[in-house]
Structure 1
Amino acid sequence: MKEYTISPRRSRMVLSVVLASFLTFQMTDCFIEEKPKEKNIEQKPPTPDAEAERKTRDKRIETEREALSAWMRANTWYPIVPAAAAVVVENDAVVFRETVRCEPTKPFMVASLTKTFTMLSILQLVDRGIISLDDPISKYLHVDFENSELASKPISIWHLLTHTSGLVEDPNPKLAENNYPFIVPEQKYPTGFRFNYCNQGYNLLGFIVFEASGLSLGDYVTRNILVPLEMRDSMAPVTTRGAAGVECSLNDLTKYIFMFMQGGEFKGRRIVSRRMFRKILEESVEGPSSKYKEYRGICFRIWSVNGRIYSMHHAAHMPGAGGFMQLFPRHRCGYVFISNPPVYDREEFYGYYYGLKSRLMQFCKVLMNDTFDPVSFQPDRPTVKQLRRFVGRYRNENNDTYVDIELHPSGYLVAVKSYTGQRCMITPTSLHTFVYIYPGQSEKGEIYDFVMKRGMVIGLGVKEGYFVR
């Protein structure tokens, strides 16, 4: 490995990019998109039935608003949750807003929601032709991240964005040797084969933003996202990393959610192109087709029904922060809440977190005019017949270990690891992802991800590595 420096050629490129970024903010026309003028259409008065329906809907919204406000005031217990703030929006209007022990202008740490700002930064640089989603990350970071034993293709910017790089979180992080300012995580799975959430992978994206633009991630986010969105209470400090560090108020998160609901536009300013916004919603790894589906796009978890996008959402969890953002594009509504629990990984906070999330979803259900119910949405699970496609032996090509997947007579899958002798029942969370819940746990467990290519099951990803069928 060589010393981490910026080459003279890259220095000249950085200077030109900084100048271009400066000019972008001086010339606001670069953000503004021409819109066709609306024709004057005579508005017909509402029919009696429509007026009665509107009044009934307004009454339901008011009832839901009062109940949600009362719930937040009663359940935001100090010191488990010192302060909390929530908002529900529909079209371009706020239909609910509540704060407990704070003002709507108070900045909160938004934890992993920072990843959505990092994502937008990368997509903007792609829009401007400075980088490509297909660029190998070694082009900017000058380090080989690929595990030669896996013989997989190079890790690209797309793979980091979609958590499909195969890199895994280092539980005892340390900086790489030779003065690299970032952690070099281990690649445990072949590139592009499976989803594996990796904060350290998103931190690498923050350094790519710096290499490509000449601005620290915090400065880039401030100039190119916070300022255009008029997020005046928010900040992206110089210490901001790709996975965390941005702080936002409820008022500003409201503007942020409006931008996503408008497909990447805010007050006529295009923050990210329509083409890049559509990329956010693409599936990152292959999975079986189904009516009710949950998958990972860029950064967001997506719900679809019959191939149509119904929800995009992302959580925010870390010490001092807990929240959730969820948008329902087809219904043009959504919500976000944020709080500051000193300790988030405890039953008392999770009870509050899931209780508030379900009530905000219920509020959005009142705003919807169809049968879709976000509270009860569940992705399709495999039938007993479909479970048979996963049965077989999966071998690690670098040693003699294997995992056997068996179909139990009672109609569920059993995983048997040769190297531990462990035998456990695995429960489906989607059509190709399963989990083993440890005794005494309610949600966390060991993931069993079956890898599909061209409709065939070809491998299995578990915590010990990748196994080939």
Structure 2
Amino acid sequence: MQVLNLQKGIENWLVSLKNKGYFPGIAVGVVIGKKLKYVRYIGYSSLNHKYEIASVTKTMTALGVMRLVEKGILDLDKPLSYYLPKVLLEKKELGSKPILLRNLLSHTSGLPDLRYYQPKVWHSPKQTGLKYPTPEQIYPTGLHYRYSNHNFMLLGSVIEVQTKQKLKEYLEKNVFLPLGMQNTIASEDILGAWGIQTTLPDLAKFASFWLERGVSNIGKKVLDVATIQKMFEEQTYIPFASKKRYIGLAWRIQSDSNCVVTFFHIGGAPGVAAWVQLFPAYQAAIVYLANPPNYENNLIGYLVALQKKLGDLAGAMVGAKESIYQFEANKLSENEYSLYVGKFKNPLTGEQIEITTLKNYVYLKTKNNQFKIIPDTTNVFHFPAYEFTFSSKSNQVIGFSDYKGFYGKLKTNKDFVDIYND
């Protein structure tokens, strides 16, 4: 009865949102093991309706990369410049290490998120031999997660160079075909970050592949378990925490005592809303695809609510005794605040910032302002619309980052704490 009530509640709610104009059509589903056990199509939607998936494309590009890693064609720990010799994006002023393929997959390459920051320096296609211009780093390699479409555009270019195939052709043969995704297509000009269309049943097959630890819906072993486990490893150090939110290779991950609780990816843009989230301990996944005319804050709030509703439904379907969707990462305790105190400087701009504590609060002080920042986790703080992510080494803070760049911790008025060596 609980399952039926949850299903009916979701369907009535989605019809209401459709009638209010949030989307012409939406498809939602719950996957248990190998099967799509619950599916509903609302509005202009059906079994074979293809939806754009925007950035969920990245997870399929990542699968393509990891297949080449298993074959020895790619090495995660080789520099990008080994595969694309003309692509040199590292900034000497940051003291940065070479960008590795691993850094591209985990969004730790140091490239900016162009939604929030427009760099002054770009490398042109004439300089790099690529199809698109590329920004330089604003963060040191490997220290900071900052989402960037260019990471997966570059991976797409690496695949094309190493396989001597168009990315579209490679993904069709090495991802869609072995996973039985017969109604999934890639655009002719796909770059690796976006450009795939799929149906809900095919997205469910993709989810099932991860639940079944590398075995596709049609019984084909596509990726080794050990390779999948590597994709779930922490790529940046997070101090003082057993319950963590972090980035693996392509996937956003939540873990408890090093066990993966859930992993997921989102796709969102005008005309696109896509989601895939997996709960490996329960052999369950939730998926949705929609085509909203506008991807704006009200809709985003409803989509977050949909994720929870589908998570609750999946939990009820597998008989979970507690919510499988709710997760709370460890937060910083007040007696650890002092470790974040110090003076910091952006090596590229020269801007200096000071972090202080007062009466059990943490403050960020610029040249002209001072404001309180609130810890969300053990390494992420926020101030209304801004987020500050601290980088640590052996529980010692070495810097922090915001959307504008990296601020290294100063050990003297001029010298930075070493960001790589102990």
Q: TM-score, normalised on structure 2?
A: 0.90
Q: Identify the structure with bigger relative contact order (alpha carbons < 8 Å, sequence gap 6+).
A: 2
Task: Provide the rounded CA distance (Å) in 2 between the counterparts of 1:65 and 1:299.
Answer: 31
2:242 to 279, 283, 291: 291
Structure 1 pair 225–392 and aligned structure 2 pair: CA distance change class (3 A): same
SS, match of residue 72 in structure 1: helix
Structure 1 residue identity aligned to 2:379? H
Q: How does 1:275-290 map to 2 (within 5 A)?
A: 275-290=226-241
Residue in 2 aligned with 1:139? 82
1:376 CA drift (Å)? 3.2
Structure 2 residue identity aligned to 1:86? V
Asked whether 1:403 is paired with 2:353, we answer yes
1:91 CA drift (Å)? 2.2
SS, match of residue 88 in structure 2: coil
1:156 CA drift (Å)? 0.7
Asked whether 1:168 is paired with 2:112, we answer yes
Q: How does 1:37-436 map to 2 (within 5 A)?
A: 59-77=1-19, 79-101=21-43, 102-142=45-85, 143-170=87-114, 176-178=124-126, 180-266=130-216, 267-344=218-295, 346-397=296-347, 400-409=350-359, 411-418=360-367, 421-436=368-383
Worse-matched range after superposition: 446-455 or 395-404: 395-404
Gaps of 5+ in 1: 1-58, 438-444
Render the CA deviation track for 1:324-366: whole Å, top value 9, x for unaligned: 211000111111011111210x233123212211211111221
SS, match of residue 185 in structure 2: coil
Worse-matched range after superposition: 389-398 or 112-121: 389-398
Structure 1 pair 331–148 and aligned structure 2 pair: CA distance change class (3 A): same
Gaps of 5+ in 2: 410-422
Structure 1 pair 140–291 and aligned structure 2 pair: CA distance change class (3 A): closer
Structure 1 residue identity aligned to 2:363? V
Residue in 2 aligned with 1:38? none
Task: Provide the rounded CA distance (Å) in 1 between the counterparts of 2:239 and 2:9.
Answer: 40
SS, match of residue 202 in structure 1: helix
1:463 CA drift (Å)? 2.9
Structure 1 residue identity aligned to 2:101? I
Q: TM-score, normalised on structure 1?
A: 0.81
SS, match of residue 355 in structure 1: helix
Render the CA deviation track for 1:46-71: whole Å, top value 9, x for unaligned: xxxxxxxxxxxxx3222222222222
Aligned length: 400
Check conservation: 1:182, 1:204, Cα contact below 8 A.
no
Check conservation: 1:81, 1:349, Cα contact below 8 A.
no
**% identity of equivalent residues:** 27
Check conservation: 1:175, 1:181, Cα contact below 8 A.
no
Structure 1 pair 317–307 and aligned structure 2 pair: CA distance change class (3 A): same
1:237 CA drift (Å)? 1.7
Task: Provide the rounded CA distance (Å) in 2 between the counterparts of 1:343 and 1:408.
Answer: 43
SS, match of residue 309 in structure 1: strand
Structure 1 pair 249–390 and aligned structure 2 pair: CA distance change class (3 A): same
Q: Answer with 1 or 2: which has the greater Rg.
A: 1
